[in-house]
Structure 1
Amino acid sequence: MSCYNHSNPSTFLLMGIPGLEATHFWIAFPFCAMYVVALLGNFTLFFVITTEPSLHLPMYYFLCMIAGIDLVLTTSTVPKILSIFWFHSYEIVFECCVVQMFFIHSFSAIESVVLLAMAFDCYVAICKPLRYTAMLTNAVIAKIGLAVFVRGISQLTPLTCMVTRLPYCGPRVISHSYCEHMAVVKLACGDTTPNYVYGITTATFVVGSDSIFIAISYILILRAVLSLSSRDACLKSFSTCGFHVCIILVFYTPALFSFYTQRWGQNIPAHIHILLADLYLLVPPMLNPIIYGMKTKQIRGRVLRPFYPERSRLGFDPH
Structure 2
Amino acid sequence: MVKRRNEAGSLTRAPVVQTHIEAARTFNRGCALLALSVLADSAMEHYRGSFANPAMFAPLVSSSGALLAGLHGSRDHRQQMHRMRHAAYLTAAATGVAGAAFHFYNVTKRPGGFSWNNLFHAAPLGAPLALLLSGALGTVAEQLRDEPVHEPQLSGMPAGRALTLLVSAGLLGTAGEAALLHFRGAFQHRAMYAPVCVPPVAAVLLVHAALGRPRERWLTQLWLRLTTAFGFAGAAFHARGIARRQGGWRNWSQNLFAGPPLSAPPSFSALALAGLAALRLRETEK
Question: What TM-score range do you get, normalising by the shorter chain?
Answer: 0.3 to 0.5
Richer in helix (by share) = 1
By relative contact order (CA 8 Å, sep 6+), the higher-ranking structure is 1
* TM-score, normalising length: structure 2: 0.39
* TM-score, normalising length: structure 1: 0.36
Structure of larger gyration radius:
1
